Structure 1
């Protein structure tokens, strides 16, 4: 619960005035709003104001029907909104004391407090007959968090479930809904950090690395102070490493219109990690498309190393004469600028004319061909077929093996444990 100083107390008036006097004298707020009925208005001047040690500088009343819950809620919530603006008080600095008044009045204030983000208070104490009034001198204020803070914990549990199922964007929306209703400054900061982390993961899923870097950077500013919010220091360290990795991916993406000057390995690994997440979500066609593009990127990097190619675009002048002769014999001709743009199969085959240390990659396509063919027939490529889980997993395993990538090399997300406690 937020420990912000109480600047505004909203009290329902009716029954014994002692709890109201105790509550105001304890907090000495700057402002007070009294919820009264036609029958209890006179209690303010006769039994409450004279007993206040320090009267609030700002006071007002709202008159409601003591027996109508809906009337009480509408009148109270409207008046609280008005006074929060007029008196420049934030919801986290206000307390709703529901001790006095009828059940309809107290219920109306409790509902208004929950919706508007106020904390609640009830003055308890000894009741000799268990059901009657509190015994004078035994009054004890009991402060409670806003009910929506409890709601936020439930939302956090739902967000954790969605993240575990691989849907960070949906999880972020759940937390953002809780963020709009929570009043505690501390809780809002925690929810905001977790929602920012989830937005970063969602951005990575759609290859928006610049947005991911920004969202994660803001989230880490808070998570660094409380690693337990995501599962501890080990998870936090993994997120830091991923931030650096995503920055490298973003750099490759942003240089897409410039000549290739570095390996595309980070982005290639990200594509494979993305494919694994898609497969886990049963998005098999998209998973296979990511794996195919990762294989293309792997081949492009090899051609860059072998012949100075630019993302698969190879200058005829950079190729050995025997490679050019082979291309011509197979019906391939350079474009008007003297460059070849080759498909995946021909890209790998061309490596047999490259440096000795790269020639063993020339057979990669033939090894992957049985698995890649169903990609070509899929609805996201050149056909209308759908890919099933078995085929997606087979291609994933084949790509990892033929591209010599260990699962530990992939930028998989850590097991994040969302917590607001």
Structure 2
């Protein structure tokens, strides 16, 4: 047999029924011989039932008649499938050979072609599925079927272009990855879509927007989300979520109210921590909660025109902060500035008679325990790993404070919660 660097996978039918005639087997052999001669593979793998093995003997005879040879073990091999009507059995038989030639054999670079023309319906369906799953070339033999079967001499090899199926598969995986916050993976997959009927640009902008937002890059997120056309069928199930998210980002970017802008940023940060916890990244999640905790105090202090990064003592005096507290702050002055951290922020709020400061004092022991755990975290100053219980306790504190910070905080949290696709793929009903 003449060869090219290609491996040809083929199914071999069992005949029309248990009483298949010799002529039926010879007819099938001629079809398979035609395909082999056209493809010129280096090796053929036949998947056959025990009853269909004799067909391969007729193929050998056809090679001999053409002054060629077809040698078992060298030119071809037979993989016997006993359960020819079991989809999983057939699929796994094909899959094992793909692994053998693609992954186990490191010395050769094979191209694999899979012919699903013959065999039981189950064998053919499994071959087509396996070929699609592993991105292999799929072929079938067509021709004049006026007599019911493809007439001899009219055979044509049809290479099946299944890009639409691949694109649908990519779209499905994109939705799963998007819901899991793996936005860069989504972007990588979407770039492979070739079907012009899929609104790839909007999907790419969508994923870029949420990737940026997840990294707290609000400007980039807003710029991309504005370019998303949520009216496309692929986005129909998250259309309202996109609308709310766009409003939130719009307030962060354009609101004239500093407090409103800061509250939306805080809500984004809290939701960011919740997403990390859903991924079981509790150290990361608590690190973000810690920043949220600190930000709550900083936002509240801005209502007094106080910046924790540069304390103006005159403002403290105007608000009747005790001399003892001011003296303690003065001891920390460096480079002409007084800078305070999370605990001092809340203690200052307490000095100002603020409810958030009072909450901190009332829960100081519990809060100190939680912040101590955070400080010993691998992502802070220690080597400890935090738990879901640690996160849940810290989140409860942060949410209580945030609700006290602004009466609309639940709305802010809802509007900054990332959109999630309905994984039932309802959009397929209209595509």
Q: TM-score range with shorter-chain normalisation?
A: 0.5 to 0.7
- Partner residue in 2 for 1:6: none
- Partner residue in 1 for 2:186: 171
1:128 to 144, 147, 162: 147
SS of residue in 1 equivalent to 2:420: coil
Question: What RMSD, in angstroms, separates the aligned Cα atoms of the two structures?
Answer: 4.0
Of 322-331 and 240-249, more deviation after overlay is shown by 322-331
Q: Are 1:68 and 2:40 matched, yes or no?
A: yes
Partners of 2:310 and 2:271 in 1: CA distance: 26
Residue 351 of structure 1: CA displacement?
A: 1.8
2:176 to 161, 179, 204: 161
2:196 to 185, 191, 207: 185
Partners of 2:411 and 2:159 in 1: CA distance: 47
Partners of 1:290 and 1:394 in 2: CA distance: 14
Unpaired runs of 5+ in structure 2? 1-36, 43-130
Partners of 2:279 and 2:254 in 1: CA distance: 28
Change (3 A) 1:391 1:334: closer
- Partner residue in 1 for 2:313: 316
- Partner residue in 1 for 2:30: none
Residue 274 of structure 1: CA displacement?
A: 0.1
1:243 to 225, 243, 246: 246
Q: Is the 8 A contact 1:327 1:333 kept in 2?
A: no
Residue 154 of structure 1: CA displacement?
A: 1.3
Q: Is the 8 A contact 1:284 1:392 kept in 2?
A: yes
TM-score by length of 1: 0.58
Change (3 A) 1:122 1:249: farther
TM-score by length of 2: 0.57
Q: Is the 8 A contact 1:279 1:287 kept in 2?
A: yes
SS of residue in 2 equivalent to 1:320: helix
- Partner residue in 2 for 1:195: 204
Change (3 A) 1:131 1:374: same
Partners of 2:245 and 2:303 in 1: CA distance: 26
Q: Is the 8 A contact 2:252 2:261 kept in 1?
A: no
Change (3 A) 1:147 1:297: same
Q: Are 1:279 and 2:277 matched, yes or no?
A: yes
1:77-156 to structure 2, matched below 5 A, reads 126-132=145-151, 146-156=161-171
Q: Are 1:360 and 2:355 matched, yes or no?
A: yes
Partners of 1:397 and 1:167 in 2: CA distance: 27
SS of residue in 2 equivalent to 1:341: coil
Unpaired runs of 5+ in structure 1? 1-64, 71-110, 136-142
2:215 to 188, 203, 206: 206
Q: Is the 8 A contact 1:172 1:198 kept in 2?
A: yes
Partners of 1:276 and 1:209 in 2: CA distance: 18
- Partner residue in 1 for 2:235: 230
- The superposition leaves residues 127-185 of structure 1 with CA deviations (integer Å, 9 ceiling, x where unpaired) of 215231699xxxxxxx9994122111112222222233332222332222x32xx2x32
Q: Are 1:417 and 2:422 matched, yes or no?
A: yes
Q: Is the 8 A contact 2:266 2:296 kept in 1?
A: yes
Partners of 1:263 and 1:151 in 2: CA distance: 42
Q: Is the 8 A contact 2:351 2:357 kept in 1?
A: no
SS of residue in 2 equivalent to 1:128: coil
2:266 to 265, 268, 293: 268
Residue 412 of structure 1: CA displacement?
A: 0.9
Q: Are 1:216 and 2:216 matched, yes or no?
A: no
Aligned residues: 290
- Partner residue in 2 for 1:25: none
